[in-house]
C-alpha cells in the first residue's frame, strides 16, 4: 500500500506540473489530481536488541583506521539515535562539553544529545589529526571528506555481513534508521519516559515516539504482568510445613 501511495504522489506531482503548462486541460487533469491516497496502518518498527547491537559492534577491527571509524560510527548512531543526514553533517565543533553533541535535524530543528564515555573515546580514537580542525566532518571517508549517505549504508552493510558470520542473530540488512529504532526501544526498556526519548530522537510530537512502546513485546508483557498482579488473582502457594527445633530434638531423642 505504501508503494502505491509513493507512485501516486509522483503522478500527482507530474500532472500538477502539466496542469501549470496546460490550463486548458484542467478538467481532465483535475480528475487525476483528485485520486486519494489509500490509508493503511503503519508497519511496526524493526529494532535490534542490545545483545545483537553488541555483536555488531564487535565486527569492526579497531586495529585499522577504517575499523576504528566504523566502530565509532555504529556506536554514535546507537548512542544518539541520529538520522543519517544528521550524522554526515556533524563536525568536530559540534562536540560539546558534558560530553554531548549538537545535532541539526529536520526543518533545521536543533537538539543536544549526551554521549557515552565509550562513544567519546571511540570518536577520539578515529580522529586522524590532533588537534582536529573544528570545521572538518566528524566521520570521514578515505579522501578526508564527509561520509555520504551511501557511504554510511555501505559501512553498515559490510560490518553487518561480518557480524552475521559469527552471530546469526545479526541481520545482514542494517540501516541507520534501524539503529535509531533500536536506540528508542532500548531507552523505553530502561524505563525512560516518552518525552525524554522524543527530545533525544528529535521528534516533533510524542505521538511519533509512542509507536515504539506499542510495538515492543517486552514492554507489553511487563505491563500485563503488572496488571495481573494488581488484580490480586495470583494464586498463593501454601506454605511448606517445617518441624520446629524442639520437635526435631524430641523426635531425635526417641
Catalytic residue (choose from 68, 69, 164, 180)? 180
Rounded-to-integer distance, Cα 82 and Cα 152, Å: 12
Of the candidates 68, 83, 164, 198, the residue annotated as catalytic is 83
Question: Is 180 among the residues known to form the active site?
Answer: yes
Residues 104-112: contacts with CB within 8 Å, 24+ apart? 105/202, 106/202, 109/202, 109/204, 111/199, 111/200, 111/202
Instruction: Return the HEC string of 154-185.
Output: HHHHHHHHHHHHHCCCCCCCCCHHHHHHHHHH
Name the active-site residue from 7, 31, 106, 124.
Answer: 106
Task: Select which of 12, 62, 102, 177 is catalytic.
Answer: 177
Active site residue 164: no
Bridge pairing between strands 95-96 and 100-104: antiparallel
Query: Has 4 been annotated as catalytic?
Result: no
Active site residue 17: no
Active site residue 212: yes
Whether 83 is catalytic: yes
The answer to whether 147 and 137 have CB atoms below 8 angstroms apart is yes
Catalytic residue ranges? 83, 106, 177, 180, 203, 212
Amino acid at each position: 500500500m505504501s508503494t502505491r501511495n509513493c507512485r501516486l504522489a509522483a503522478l500527482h506531482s507530474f500532472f500538477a506540473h502539466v496542469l501549470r503548462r496546460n490550463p486548458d486541460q484542467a478538467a481532465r487533469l483535475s480528475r487525476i489530481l483528485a485520486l486519494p491516497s489509500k490509508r493503511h496502518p503503519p508497519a511496526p518498527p524493526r529494532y535490534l536488541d542490545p545483545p545483537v547491537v553488541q555483536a555488531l559492534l564487535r565486527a569492526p577491527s579497531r586495529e585499522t583506521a577504517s575499523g576504528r571509524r566504523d566502530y565509532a560510527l555504529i556506536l554514535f548512531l546507537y548512542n544518539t539515535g541520529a538520522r543519517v543526514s544528521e550524522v554526515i553533517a556533524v563536525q568536530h565543533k559540534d562536540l560539546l562539553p558534558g560530553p554531548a553533541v549538537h545535532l541539526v535535524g529536520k526543518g533545521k530543528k536543533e537538539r543536544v544529545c549526551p554521549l557515552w564515555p565509550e562513544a567519546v573515546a571511540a570518536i577520539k580514537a578515529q580522529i586522524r589529526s590532533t588537534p582536529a580542525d573544528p570545521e572538518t566532518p566528524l566521520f570521514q571517508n578515505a579522501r578526508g571528506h564527509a561520509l555520504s549517505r551511501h557511504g554510511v549504508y555501505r559501512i553498515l552493510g559490510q560490518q553487518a555481513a561480518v557480524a552475521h558470520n559469527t552471530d546469526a542473530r545479526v541481520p545482514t540488512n542494517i540501516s541507520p534508521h534501524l539503529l535509531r529504532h533500536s536506540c528508542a526501544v532500548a531507552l523505553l526498556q530502561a524505563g525512560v519516559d516518552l518525552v525524554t526519548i522524543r527530545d533525544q530522537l528529535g521528534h516533533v510530537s510524542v505521538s511519533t515516539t509512542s509507536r515504539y512502546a506499542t510495538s515492543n513485546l517486552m514492554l507489553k508483557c511487563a505491563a500485563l504482568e503488572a496488571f495481573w498482579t494488581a488484580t490480586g488473582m495470583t494464586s498463593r502457594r501454601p506454605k511448606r510445613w517445617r518441624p520446629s527445633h524442639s520437635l526435631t530434638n524430641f523426635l531425635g531423642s526417641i
